[in-house]
Each structure stands twice: as structure tokens, then as C-alpha cells.
Amino acid sequence: MRDKLGPWLPAIFCAVLSSITIVANLAGQFMTGTGSTGPGDIPFYCFMPMCFFFVGAYLSHLKNENQKLRERVDELTSKTDVVATAG
């Protein structure tokens, strides 16, 4: 489970922090009637987790590719060991 969730942990963490910040900013604006943040802050917080998401997708793809290559190397190594012991 940890191996599958590992590449996505930064994106999840960033999404949680962004959600907390957005909710706090909106609650603060609603209660005080003044804008505590600039107009571009909320879209920034909404799209910030996307960079971590794309890094997670890339790492997940590399991890799967690495696993396939290891399996192939192990298969080829076992075939050469069988040929070497037979010959």
C-alpha cells in the first residue's frame, strides 16, 4: 500500500494544505467583510497541488517501468543460468 501511495503523498498533502488555506481565507473574508488575500490567491492555491500531481504521475510511471525492467532482467538472468548449467 505504501508503495502505491508514495508518489501521491506530496499531492495529497498539498491539496489538504490548500483546502485549509482556502477555507480559512473565505471564512475570514465572510466574517470580517474585508479581503485578507489578493484576488489571485485562491486560484493559485487551487492549482498548486497539480504540480505535485504531475510529479506523482511521472514517478508512478517510472516505478512501473522499473519494475517491468527488473522482471525482464531477472527472467533473462534465470535463462542464462539454466543454459550455463546445462551446457
Burial state string for 31-70 with b = 16 or more CB within 10 A and e = fewer than 16: eeeeeebeeeebeebeebbeebbeebeeeeeeeeeeeeee
Give the chain's length.
Answer: 87
Q: Among 35, 17, 38, which residue's Cα sits nearest to residue 26?
A: 35
Residue 28 is part of which domain span? 2-86
Q: What is the pTM assigned to this prediction? A: 0.67
Distance of CA 60 to the CA centre of its chain: 8
Number of domains present in the structure of the chain: 1
In tens digits, what is the pLDDT along the chain, a chain of 87 residues? Answer: 777 788 888 889 999 999 998 888 888 888 887 666 666 787 888 888 888 899 999 999 999 999 999 999 999 888 877 776 765
